[in-house]
Amino acid sequence: MLQQPEILEKDQEHVLLINMAQKFNSEFNYRYQVIGCTPWEKIKTLKGFLEGRLRAQALEEVGKLKFQAKLSKLKHLQNSGNGLEHEILELKAEIIETESYEATVKEAFELTKDEIKILKKLLKELYVIAEPTRIKGYTDEQMFEANAANEFTVDMGREIQSEMIANGRPSAARIRNAMSNPHTWNALKQVGLIPKQNKILEGNINPQLKIELTGVEDENTIAPIKDETNS
């Protein structure tokens, strides 16, 4: 019974290797279904997937080295004359078990390589679109942040549009979420998804003053987005 956790751990190692290496998504899903309404956000998402796939690919060499280590250890135990019978048998069993997974693991790694090619191709296409919009001196991470309000606005617009098509009106929760960003709120009004006469309500900044609500004009709610490259 004391051996059971170790056996389970070894089984999980093989399962983890296969799960890490197998293909996660098709080109269609990566192109049309990943998170991101704007090119920069899609780049952010696909780079995350690519990082995971590259880590999975590295496990192929790890698996080969571990298998070679087991073969070397078995040879040493058999030739040294000091190997206990149960140790040799257990190691032989592990080698047979590893070999039984070989075809599945090999296929999984081939799929991983194909997926990496797909991701690199799609990222190359997206950079062609996004690169001309890069703020001078900005890294990808800085561009993801600079694009955040734009991504949020497009996402909110599509969510509200889909709700209006399906239900005839957007949900209260969606409108409330859109109110959180004045840039988004104003853009939705300009495109006609929010009636132009609607205003975001605000209270007094000073809690000691009279409790009241006022409708804020769009131009008073929008703070300019500053370029901090030279700051």
pLDDT digits (tens, 9 = 90+) for 104-129: 788 888 888 899 999 999 999 999 99
Q: Give residues with Cβ within 8 angstroms of 24, minimum separation 6.
A: 49, 52, 53, 115
User: Number of folded domains in the chain?
Assistant: 2
- 108, 87: one domain: yes
61 secondary structure, DSSP code = H
pLDDT of 107 = 81
**Three-class SS of residue 200?**
strand
Same domain, 182 and 70: no
Q: Is 168 part of any domain?
A: yes
Write out residues in the chain with pLDDT < 50, as ranges.
Answer: 1-9, 228-231
Please check whether residues 99 and 167 belong to one and the same domain.
no
Query: Domain span at residue 109?
Result: 4-134
Q: What is the pTM of this model?
A: 0.73
Whether 136 contacts 130, CB under 8 Å: no
Question: Do residues 63 and 105 make contact, with C-beta atoms less than 8 angstroms apart?
Answer: yes
Alpha-carbon distance values, 117 to 5, 52, 65, 104, 226 (Å): 38, 13, 25, 20, 37
130 and 48 in a common domain: yes
